[in-house]
Structure 1
Amino acid sequence: MTLTDDRVDEKTTTAHDEPGDHDLFSHYARKTDIERSMFEGVDITALCGKQWRPSRDFTKFPVCPTCKDIYEGMQD
């Protein structure tokens, strides 16, 4: 499994919407999943478990703290 430092934006409405603050963050996901979503328009899953279809500018949102913790733990 290869993970990258790529942050991904998220759509405000998804098939798996759950109430919470995770819609206010950029999330980490596998690069291959991000590319697949861009070409095929499918939902992807972030490290934290959030499912969404990337569509917004990820640079405008802070990184999801759960994704960040998981990613940093994988670096050890």
Structure 2
Amino acid sequence: MRTQTIERTDTDERVDDGTDDDAPKFFHYVKKDKIAESAVMGTHVVALCGEVFPVTKAAKPGSPVCPDCKKIYEKLKK
């Protein structure tokens, strides 16, 4: 029995350079109860600033926040 090596020429050798092309520029404030629904069902959410989008990523601590959402949120807290 012999083992034969077959060379694949169709491999994809992408390197993760830490940049994510579909990463949002800012994370927005949206209603909590809509986040899971959007992530699972693909429905769109409306941020405090008015931006409409489907939830595709979760914000991590220290992530950049939309300045407009932040201003509106601060006014609502008062």
Secondary structure at the counterpart of residue 67 of structure 1: helix
The answer for the alignment partner of 1:51 in structure 2 is: 52
Q: CA RMSD in A?
A: 1.6
Secondary structure at the counterpart of residue 56 of structure 2: coil
- Computing the radius of gyration from Cα coordinates, the structure with the larger value is 2
Higher helix share: 1
Q: Identity rate of aligned residues, in percent?
A: 36
TM-score by length of 2: 0.61
CA distance in 1, matches of 2:37, 2:58: 17
Segments of structure 2 that go 5 or more residues without pairing to the other structure are 1-21
CA distance in 2, matches of 1:58, 1:41: 17
Q: Which has the higher contact order (CA 8 A, sep 6+)?
A: 1
Name segments (4+ residues, structure 1) moved above 6 Å: none
